[in-house]
Amino acid sequence: MARAAGLVRDEELPAGSKASSTAVRAVMTANKGRDTEPERRLRSLLYRRGLRYRVNIRPIPDLRRTADLVFQKARVAVFVDGCYWHGCPDHYRPATKRSQFWQDKIQGNIARDADTNRRLREQGWSVVRIWEHEEPNEAAERVMAALGDQ
């Protein structure tokens, strides 16, 4: 009825959009790249334990990759990875539409994560990767352990 009354209109996808529909585009643009709920929970726990850190910065200035948390003096970089976007072995489920595009995208993310880990370690950094589904207190303990190893 709303459509018939002219209150709702069909939106068109912008030129060059890779989304298969306007609904898919809305969902994809709503996905956050930083300050996600798992990141905020982890930061809160670490802050309450007296730790101070930088948020969403490049651990190495000439490396075009940002870590979610950076402990510069201790040289520890923490990444909180989303299960879908980083190919979690427990929770990743392949897309059904445009499956080859998404498979290539996720495999590229996994390869970039491995390259990031390697490059940071070569520069003397410790890397902590946390899945979004991990229990926050356990994740905080892993970060504390990495900081304690310094």
Q: For the domain bounded by 33-148, which CATH number is listed? A: 3.40.960.10
∠ at Cα 117 (112, 123), nearest 5°?
Answer: 125
The pLDDT of residue 98 is 86
Mean pLDDT by 10 residues, the chain (150 residues): 69 78 73 85 97 96 95 97 91 88 94 98 97 96 89
Question: What does the pLDDT read at residue 8?
Answer: 63
Domain ranges of the chain: 33-148
pLDDT of residue 19: 73
Q: What is the pLDDT of residue 132?
A: 94
Q: Which of 79, 62, 82 is nearest to 70 (CA)?
A: 79
User: How many C-beta atoms lie closer than 10 Å to residue 12's C-beta?
Assistant: 8
